[in-house]
Amino acid sequence: MKAIYPGSFDPVTNGHIDIIERAAKLVDKLVVAVAMNLEKEAMFETQERVDLLRQACRHLANVEVDYFHGLTVSYARKHEARLIIKGLRAVSDFEFELQQALMNKRLDDGIETMFMMTSAEYLFLSSSMVKQLAMLGASVTGLVPDGVEKLLLEKTKLMQR
Ligand code: ADP
């Protein structure tokens, strides 16, 4: 079975990597798809987000990284994937994710969304938290892959000038 793991990944965190590693064990092929979401003002360019993910997923043979715009279900259909994987953290994620999953089901009844619970150590980890920490000069070591930490520090230094 082929699955899509969509998200902004602005930038990828160790919480995302945990979901990717666990999901990759369950499916034949996992496509991590960076959504070019026009509403969200991103810190990282789409290509940077893709490159950072590719670097962080090098050790996973059945994981591919791509990007898309438009509907997740259209992207999934195009790639003949009938499964969307999403991660769930606290209850606060639930309402939005439920709404999205139900809307996706309405758009395409042949595509299922499955949720994976976060590992406890990543419960409070989000891309926006990581960006905030870096901007305030706090260390993000252990929260993001090495390549992300490096680029994040460079970007925040430039922004603080
Ligand atoms: P964020 O909410 O961090 O901006 P994304 O939009 O990139 O994340 O999220 C992509 C997917 O990864 C979503 O399903 C989201 O719930 C999930 N996710 C994000 N952070 C974590 C985490 N720490 N643990 C588990 N799942 C996560």
Q: What is the pLDDT of residues 145-159, one digit of tens each?
A: 999 999 999 998 877
To the question of pTM greater than 0.85 for the whole model, the response is: yes
Determine, yes or no, domain membership for 101. Answer: yes
Please indicate whether residue 131 is annotated as part of the active site: no
Whether 127 is catalytic: yes
Tokens of 110: 């042949």
Cα-to-centroid distance, 7 and ligand 1 (Å): 7
- Domain span at residue 73 reads 2-123
Q: To 10 degrees, what angle do helices 127-135 and 146-160 make?
A: 50
User: 9: which 2 tokens?
Assistant: 């990944």
Kindly state the average pLDDT of the residues 63-67: 98
- 60 has a pLDDT exceeding 80: yes
Of the listed 8, 16, 86, 131, which one is catalytic? 16
Domain annotation covers residue 151:
no
- Give the model confidence (pLDDT) of 99-127 as tens digits: 999 999 999 999 999 999 999 999 999 99
**In what order do the strands lie in the sheet containing 2-7?**
63-68, 29-35, 2-7, 83-88, 112-117
Helix H, strand E, coil C: the string for 84-112 is: EEEEECCHHHHHHHHHHHHHHHHHCCCCE
Going by alpha carbons, the residue nearest to atom 17 of ligand 1 is 87
CATH code of 117's domain: 3.40.50.620
Number of domains in the chain: 1
Q: Is the CB of 44 under 6 A from ligand 1?
A: no
Q: What is the band of 90 on the pLDDT scale with cuts at 50, 70, 90?
A: confident
Residues 155 and 38: their CA atoms lie apart, in Å, by 21
In a domain, 78, yes or no: yes
Structural domain includes residue 83:
yes
